[in-house]
Amino acid sequence: MNKLSRRSFLKTTSLGMTFMATQMYSQGFSNLLLKDAKFEKIKLDYVIFDKGIKQSEEFALKMKALGTKVFEVDKDISSMWSEIINPTWGKEKDTAIVGLTSYETMFVLQKIAFDKNMVLYYSAQHDFNEKNIKHKINTSKTVLENIEKNLKYYSWSDTLALNLNNYPYKKMDMQNEIQTEYENNDKKNIVLYSWIMAPRKIAC
């Protein structure tokens, strides 16, 4: 299954995210977004999510609200290999992907991406506990500054979706740690990883 249900979409997507998407499309991106005309933006084809991981599914729904197609990983990437990776990666039309997933999913995809001349343009570790999330972010200086600015207005997940949806082809030249508040209703600690893999257009 590569689609989240309409019912789940309506249930999970916040009013804040809906407002944000409306503002982006109606205003040609608000001044909260990264504006760097010198760098081409990555056109994301799919958001990848791990079935059964709440945070991963919720992030996929936010990216879906911004116009990205969704694809489900259910323990292994066999379906993704046959439907996305093998037909496109290393070919003339590479498929750019984004996700908030387990380490295992990211690791497998990154190894394949390297062999197919794809690039990891952004990565971050998100350590969820009952009270907060500790983020270890690898990105460019401009994007990091924009993330910190957006967090003044939006939740961490809305901020993540907003910035990854508008991500430039730039090297990861900055690392930083950020902590944000989080209400973990299921009381389960979990570590997830957000990332972007796209065709090589710069020397990374």
Please tell me the predicted confidence (pLDDT) of residue 17.
52
Residues 94-110: tens digit of each pLDDT: 899 999 999 999 999 99
Inform me whether the pLDDT recorded for 137 exceeds 50: yes
Residues 25-34 pLDDT 10s: 434 444 445 4
Taking 60 as the threshold, does the pLDDT of residue 7 lie above it? Answer: no
pLDDT, tens digit (0-9, with 9 covering 90-100), for 43-72: 999 999 999 999 999 999 999 999 999 999
| Average confidence (pLDDT) over 136-142 | 96
- Measured distance CA(73)–CA(47) in Å, rounded: 10
Q: Are 59 and 100 in contact (CB under 8 A)?
A: yes
Q: pTM of the entire structure?
A: 0.83
**pLDDT, mean over the chain:** 85
For residues 202 and 168, the answer to whether their CB atoms sit within 8 Å is no
Q: So what's the pLDDT on residue 201?
A: 81
Higher per-residue confidence, 165 vs 201? 165
Give the pair of three-digit tokens for residue 139: 């990105």
- C-alpha of 193 from chain center: 9
**Is 60 exceeded by the pLDDT of residue 24?**
no
Q: Which of 134, 149, 137, 145 is nearest to 196 (CA)?
A: 137
Tokens representing 199 are: 């065709």
pLDDT tens digits, 118-128: 999 999 999 99
Six-digit token pair at 184? 């973990």
CA nearest 170: which of 28, 15, 65, 38? 38
58, 17 contact by CB (below 8 A): no
